[in-house]
A and B are shown apart, each in its own frame.
Chain A
């Protein structure tokens, strides 16, 4: 839901996206011990499957972004996990471009890490309802931040995108609503059954 295609974004924005994504992935991979690889990979596979589900919203349907949930469970490892997901989507389904991959990963992963941090602040271990609430809020913040970053990526690429960038937030409202409810439910369940998965320790 945040795939900018190739040919839109200007060279400085492309460079910034690539740099942030490289740094984030480097950090995420360095903090990923070999024994955690199966868990991060299997969860990434879950998120990949979830991102392909069409959820009905009003008259149309939305694909989830899931970066909030990824940040809550994977922490900084959300960076490489999102790179894997977006690379697969670009190559297999033609979602987004190749050169713009760095920007797209940045726009999803930076909010993911933020949401993960926000969740640890809001969450109270042992309280399932509180966890669900914290998960929902973090997911909403992640989606809003992604919308903002996509808007910025466009606005910084050319004056002519400015009006579109200002209106762009509106197209994210349905995803934000669905994703908040979805994440609250998912986090609420995980908090009750297996709280160790939350908190972003890969």
Chain B
């Protein structure tokens, strides 16, 4: 089966960021997103996009795939953004279909586009382009509750397994002339497919639990990870903080 794996790290090979402690990357992503959300005006968000582009370069993100992900906005967000130039009070600068377009509205929409894409790009570079398992371990060592991390890692473990099962069932449906065409039949069929997948998965969960009992599971999970931050982490962290401070300075200027 030629299924592309679902949980691929986004990078195109070993990068500078891969030599960092995963915790450094998680903290950097969180700090970046927080700084961008708090920034005002247009200059700081534009600067944030520039920083994010540098991070994407460091992570060696695949340009085409990343662009596709950045431009994908859901219906409700397109609606909200498209209406902003008309609904934000301010100085009218143009007219569209007889309605006044305000400068403030255009700026607001542009700021949202810049901020949203800066965060997406930086997140894909810092947190997306590493092993999801490392992300889970990093969360654990940053103090996330153990039960949450166990749930996270357990889910990650079985996503590919279930994706394969889903593809097998879809293939079997296609072999019986099923086609994805809008309509009750299609939605019901896919619903039943996933109902079946839920049932077989619950049975699989019982076998997993049995396997855990056989190896003496007593309710405690052991998460292993012993990477330590090195000079590269401190250096990267310092540079990242400086970049964020520079953005704040632009914002206040």
Contacts and interface: CB of A to CB of B under 8 A. Distances in A.
Judge A-B direct contact (beta carbons within 8 Å). yes
Interface of A: 1-8, 11, 14, 25, 29, 32, 34-35, 37-46, 48-50, 52-58, 73, 80-81, 83-85, 87-88, 90-95, 97-100, 150, 154, 159-165, 167-168, 171-172, 178, 181-190, 193-194, 197
Q: Nearest 3 A-B pairs (CB), nearest first?
A: A7-B115, A185-B191, A189-B195
Interface stretch (B204-212, B223-231, B245-253): B204-212
B77 A185 contact: no
A137 to B, nearest CB: 15
User: Main SS of the interface on chain B?
Assistant: helix
Contacts of A57: 182
B93 interface: no
Contact of A8 (B30, B116, B147): B116
B216 interface: no
Interface string B149-163: 011101111110111
A187 B157 CA distance: 25
Nearest to A160: B88
Interface residues of chain A: helix, strand, loop or mixed (majority): helix
Given A42-B162, A90-B123, A99 B37 contact: yes
Given A44-B151, A94-B70, A97-B120, A88 B132 contact: yes
10 contacts: A5-B119, A8-B112, A29-B148, A29-B151, A37-B150, A94-B128, A95-B72, A99-B34, A154-B80, A164-B79
B123 A98 contact: yes
A49 B162 CA distance: 7
Contacts of A160: 84, 87-89, 105, 108
A59 B115 CA distance: 31
Contacts of B45: 7
B43 interface: no
B123 A53 contact: no
Of listed A45, A87, A190, residue having the most chain B CB within 10 A: A45
Interface string B60-78: 0000001001101111110
Interface in B156-190: 156-159, 161-163, 166, 180-182, 184, 186-190
Given A34-B219, A160-B108, A168-B80, A185 B116 contact: no
Contacts of B206: 38-39
- Range of interface residues on B (Cβ < 8 Å): 35 or more
A14 B135 CA distance: 23
Contact of B155 (A84, A93, A154): A84
A81 B159 CA distance: 13
A97 B119 contact: yes
A97 B120 CA distance: 6
B36 interface: yes
Instruction: Specify which of A11, A92, A168, A172 lies most central, judged by the most chain B CB atoms within 10 Å of its CB.
Output: A92
Contacts of B89: 159-160
